[in-house]
Amino acid sequence: MYKFLLTTLLIFVLSNTFAQKYMDNILSKSCECVDEVSTDLPMQEFNLQLGLCMIEAAQPYKKQLMKDYDIDLENIDSNGQGEKLGRTIGVKMATTCPNTLMRLTNKVTAPETETTTNVEAVGTVSHIDRELFVVFTLKDSYDKEVKYYWLSAVESPINLDQNYPSLLGKDVSIIYETQELFDPNIEIYRDFNVIQKISLAIGD
């Protein structure tokens, strides 16, 4: 009887030790990978990189994770499996790599500070698209064409709301900033040149 109890206890201890060891490996690799992720990335890309770190670290132990935590790495994008993996690893990171966790917390809780730089473009309006938004295409002195998007209120002496069609063929100066916006046509985020100010170029 005692021998049976001792054997059962030994199996339980060894099982827990193995479980702890593989989780320690996942945590160690996750922490190392996360430490390499730049906090200067946009929040969406930052979160994506964190998720990839955790998935890559957990991949060799997918059977154990399924058994011990009911986390299905084969279907990580469905039924909240990704969130469950993130919570499981995130909670345990507090003891394994507290500095890394603090770094993540600071990134998540910090207010988004947008550092936008206004740039000037001068050229001839070669085309005006009128779809959901008005888009001006400017051709520069090298015949290169670039699009500029009228997405919000624009500073202009031209009475732009009524007179923008008359800018076709005119030389203009556009002050713009680059913004990362979702493009539904290609289903990814990309940079748009968003107009802040527009006026006729000097001499026009």
> Using one digit for the tens of pLDDT, what is the confidence trace for 119-139?
999 999 999 998 788 999 999
Q: How many domains does the chain have?
A: 2
89: in domain: yes
Q: What is the CATH number of the domain that holds 196?
A: 2.40.50.140
pLDDT of residue 44: 83
- CA 54: distance to chain centroid? 16
> Using one digit for the tens of pLDDT, what is the confidence trace for 65-123?
998 889 999 988 888 888 889 888 888 887 888 888 788 777 766 665 555 578 999 99
57: in domain: yes
Same domain? For 142 and 180 the reply is yes
Model confidence at 4: pLDDT above 70: no
Same domain? For 26 and 95 the reply is yes
Label residues 69-102 b or e (16+ Cβ within 10 Å = b). bebebeebeeeebbebbbebbeebbeebbeebbe
Same domain? For 137 and 104 the reply is no
pLDDT of residue 111: 61
Segment (H or E) for 192: strand 188-200
pLDDT of residue 7: 38
Same domain? For 8 and 103 the reply is yes
Up-side HSE of residue 34: CA atoms within 13 Å toward CB? 27
Q: Three-state secondary structure along 109-174? A: HCCCCCCCCCEEEEEEEEEEEECCCEEEEEECCCCCEEEEEECCCCECCCCHHHHHHHHCCCEEEE
Q: How far apart (Å, rounded) are the C-alpha atoms in residues 32 and 26? A: 10
Backbone angles phi, psi at 116, to 5 degrees: -105, 140
Same domain? For 66 and 95 the reply is yes
Domain boundary among 62, 90, 109: 109
| Environment class of 23 (CB within 10 Å of its CB; exposed 0-12, middle 13-18, buried 19+) | buried
Q: How far apart (Å, rounded) are the C-alpha atoms in residues 133 and 131? A: 5
- Record the pTM: 0.47
Cβ 52 vs Cβ 41: under 8 Å: no
Q: How far apart (Å, rounded) are the C-alpha atoms in residues 171 and 168? A: 9
Strands 188-200 and 171-183: antiparallel
Model confidence at 182: pLDDT above 70: yes
pLDDT of residue 13: 35
9 — pLDDT class (breaks 50, 70, 90) = very low
